[in-house]
């Protein structure tokens, strides 16, 4: 096929949304190499601990490697400090890790979603670019090959203060509509809804194209 | 790691701290002697804060005492005091501050006191096992307040560290610890602890204790460590004498 940019080599769609004492994070399931789809069960959301999840869009090999590095760092942190990392602390660490490679970066865009154990399990979502420039948001965060579409559909459907069940419905509709116009993302989706006491993972059936 | 900061080739790639046949690291024992000859310092942990105090004996009246500060602020939430060799304490305070800033830069969160103590203790241990360096001739008392509440740690030249409810180091440590054992109670509040700290120092002090020859560092629920001004110390001393 034609030459593609490294950011669109694999394809991805990631959304994180914040609700009432809960957060949700979703990704598509496609794994492809340029135009060839190779798998439809490739999740891009990773669990760091019970109340902290991270989505990684971009080059799949970098996403895999980074995930492993962060597990390594978080495990050592847990051993030293005898506590799980707060979401904002983790986000700062991700940002610092990406910036270390400022002149030869990882080709990923992370999205982080979690509940802060210090502030009464308050929702936290953040996203950053491949160099670690971080932004937090109160409502939603998107990343992927068609992030503009995702942002548009989130802007339309989102409202604040949604409970876990409603949040699931909203984020699912956003994901399924958002990937419709993206040839490189889709083929199903996975949605995690994280509350204080539980995390529910659901798989969405979408158009397999 | 070796050379104690000196870059390049050192003729001493072997450690100067070596085991004696009886299993002791004699250099560390000697370092502890240096600490025990130093001016007394102590710390007391209260319900709502920590106080650390040290004698400030100047060698002659010609020294400008107002420029001497033995208590070091490490982060907003924690500070330390020492007994032993002043210059060694300065080196450790500098390393501690750097470690705290590195933590902040990475995590955007103030370093927990226990983690800071661990890092300082690690440095002190490295200097007992590296080429061409000697152990630090200080024991440190680190006081801080973080999400784990008020904490007081002692770190020795070997790199051993303990958390204490109350402790003393330096010349008069044994008498001071006896005194503290009798006076300490778990329900103590910061104000009581400050009074007790002054009384304890007074016990072993040669001459009259006044606001110029004692230094007090406190951190309370506000999580802001600070060294009290001589005026504040004088007020506390007055309360103690009453």
| pLDDT band per the 50, 70, 90 thresholds, residue B3 | very low
pTM attached to this predicted model: 0.91
CA distance A100 to A94: 10
Q: What is the pLDDT of residue B66?
A: 87
| Contact between residue B49 and residue B221 where contact means Cβ atoms under 8 Å apart | yes
| Contact between residue B82 and residue B74 where contact means Cβ atoms under 8 Å apart | no
Task: Annotate A172-197 with b (16+ C-beta within 10 A) or e (fewer).
Answer: bebbbbbbeebebbbbbbbbbbbbee
CA distance B34 to chain A (A): 32
The partner residue sitting opposite A81, judged by closest CB among B105, B108, B115, is B115
CA distance A113 to B34: 52
Contacts of A96 in chain B (CB under 8 A): 105-106
CA atoms within 13 A on the CB side of A39: 9
Encode pLDDT of A27-55 as tens digits: 999 999 999 999 999 999 999 999 999 99
Give the CA distances from residue B221 to residues B80, B110, B117, B147, in Å, rounded to whole numbers and listed in that order.
Answer: 17, 15, 20, 10
| pLDDT band per the 50, 70, 90 thresholds, residue B9 | low
Query: What are the backbone angles phi and psi of residue B115, rounded to the nearest 5°?
Result: -70, -40
Q: Which residue of B has its CA nearest to A118?
A: B147
Cβ <8 Å between A80 and B118:
yes
CA distance B221 to chain A (A): 17
Cβ <8 Å between A118 and B105:
no
Contacts of B107 in chain A (CB under 8 A): 89, 92-93
Contacts of B110 in chain A (CB under 8 A): none
Q: What is the mean pLDDT of chain A?
A: 96
Best B106, B111, B113, B119 member to test A by mutation, with max A CBs in 10 Å, is B106
| Contact between residue B198 and residue B241 where contact means Cβ atoms under 8 Å apart | no
* Structure tokens, B58: 């100047």
Beta bridge partners, B42, equal: B53, B168
CA distance A89 to A97: 12
Instruction: Please give the share of chain B, as a percent, with pLDDT higher than 90.
Output: 89
Return the H-helix or E-strand segment holding B72: strand B72-73
- With an 8 Å Cβ cutoff, is A205 touching chain B? no
Encode pLDDT of A111-169 as tens digits: 999 999 998 999 999 999 999 999 999 999 999 999 999 999 999 999 999 999 999 99
Mean of pLDDT values over B193-197: 97
Contacts of A89 in chain B (CB under 8 A): 107-109
Encode pLDDT of B12-61 as tens digits: 888 899 999 999 999 999 999 999 999 999 999 999 999 999 999 998 99
CA distance B216 to B53: 4
* Structure tokens, A66: 């980074």
Q: What is the mean pLDDT of chain B?
A: 94
Triad A79, A83, A87: Cα angle to 5°: 115
CA distance A175 to chain B (A): 31
CA distance A100 to A91: 14
Which residues from B are below 8 Å from A when comparing CB atoms?
A: 105-109, 112, 115, 118, 147
Contacts of A118 in chain B (CB under 8 A): 147
Cβ <8 Å between A96 and B105:
yes
Q: Is residue A77 predicted with pLDDT exceeding 50?
A: yes
Q: Which residue of B has its CA nearest to A81?
A: B115
- Tallying the residues shown for chain B, one arrives at 242
The partner residue sitting opposite B106, judged by closest CB among A80, A88, A96, is A96
Report the candidate in B73, B127, B125 with the shortest Cα–Cα distance to residue B100: B73
- With an 8 Å Cβ cutoff, is A34 touching chain B? no
Q: Which residue of B has its CA nearest to A90?
A: B107
Instruction: Please give the share of chain A, as a percent, with pLDDT higher than 90.
Output: 97
B86, with CB counted inside 10 A (0-12, 13-18, 19+), is: middle
Cβ <8 Å between A81 and B109:
no
CA distance A87 to chain B (A): 10
CA distance A89 to chain B (A): 5
| pLDDT band per the 50, 70, 90 thresholds, residue B213 | very high
Q: Is residue A187 predicted with pLDDT exceeding 90?
A: yes
Report the candidate in A21, A17, A16, A25 with the shortest Cα–Cα distance to residue A120: A21
CA distance B106 to A89: 8
Encode pLDDT of B119-133 as tens digits: 999 999 999 999 999
HEC string of chain A? CCCCCHHHCCCCEEEEEEECCEEEEEEECCEEECCEEEECCCCCEEEEECCEEEEEEECHHHHHHHHHHHHHHHHHHHHHHCCCCCHHHHHHHHHHHHHHCCCCCCCEEEEEEEEECCCCCEEEEEEECCCCCEEEECCEEEEECCHHHHHHHHHHHCCCCCCHHHHHHHHHHHHHHHHHHCCCCCCCEEEEEEECCCEEEEEECCCCC
Q: What is the pLDDT of residue B233?
A: 96
- With an 8 Å Cβ cutoff, is A117 touching chain B? no
């Amino acid at each position: 096929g034609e030459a593609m940019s490294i950011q669109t080599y694999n394809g991805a769609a990631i959304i994180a949304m914040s609700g009432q004492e809960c957060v949700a994070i979703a990704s598509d399931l496609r794994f492809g190499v340029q135009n060839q789809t190779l798998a439809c069960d490739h999740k891009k959301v990773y669990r760091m601990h019970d109340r902290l999840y991270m989505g990684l869009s971009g080059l799949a090999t970098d996403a895999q490697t980074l995930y492993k590095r962060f597990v390594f760092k978080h495990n050592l942190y847990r051993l030293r400090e005898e506590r799980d990392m707060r979401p904002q602390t983790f986000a700062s660490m991700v940002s610092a890790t990406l910036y270390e490679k400022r002149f030869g970066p990882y080709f990923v865009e992370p999205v982080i979603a979690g509940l802060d154990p210090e502030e009464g399990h308050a929702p936290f979502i953040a996203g950053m670019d491949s160099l670690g420039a971080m932004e937090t948001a109160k409502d939603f965060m998107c990343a992927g090959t068609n992030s503009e579409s995702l942002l548009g559909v989130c802007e339309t459907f989102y409202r604040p203060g949604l409970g876990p069940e409603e949040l699931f419905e909203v984020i699912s509709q956003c994901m399924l509509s958002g990937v419709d116009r993206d040839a490189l993302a889709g083929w199903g989706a996975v949605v995690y809804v994280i509350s204080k006491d539980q995390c529910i993972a659901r798989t969405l059936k979408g158009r397999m194209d | 790691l070796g050379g104690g900061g000196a870059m390049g080739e050192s003729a001493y790639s072997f450690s100067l701290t070596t085991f004696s046949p009886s299993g002791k690291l004699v250099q560390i024992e000697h370092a502890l002697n240096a600490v025990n000859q130093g001016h007394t310092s102590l710390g007391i942990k209260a319900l709502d804060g920590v106080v650390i105090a040290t004698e400030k004996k100047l060698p002659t009246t010609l020294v400008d005492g107002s420029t001497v500060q033995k208590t070091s602020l490490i982060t907003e939430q924690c500070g330390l005091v020492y007994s032993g060799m002043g210059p060694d304490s300065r080196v450790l305070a500098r390393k501690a501050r750097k470690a705290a800033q590195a933590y902040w830069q990475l995590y955007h969160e103030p370093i927990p006191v226990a983690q800071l103590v661990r890092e300082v203790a690690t440095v002190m241990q490295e200097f007992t096992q590296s080429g061409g360096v000697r152990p630090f001739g200080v024991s440190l008392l680190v006081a801080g307040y973080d999400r784990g509440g008020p904490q007081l740690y002692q770190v020795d030249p070997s790199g051993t560290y303990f958390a204490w409810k109350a402790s003393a180091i330096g010349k008069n440590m044994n008498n001071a610890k006896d005194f503290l054992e009798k006076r300490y109670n778990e329900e103590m509040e910061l104000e009581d602890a400050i009074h007790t700290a002054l009384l304890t120092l007074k016990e072993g002090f040669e001459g009259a204790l006044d606001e110029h020859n004692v230094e007090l560092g406190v951190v309370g629920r506000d999580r802001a460590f600070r060294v009290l001004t001589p005026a504040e110390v004088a007020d506390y001393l007055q309360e103690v004498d009453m």
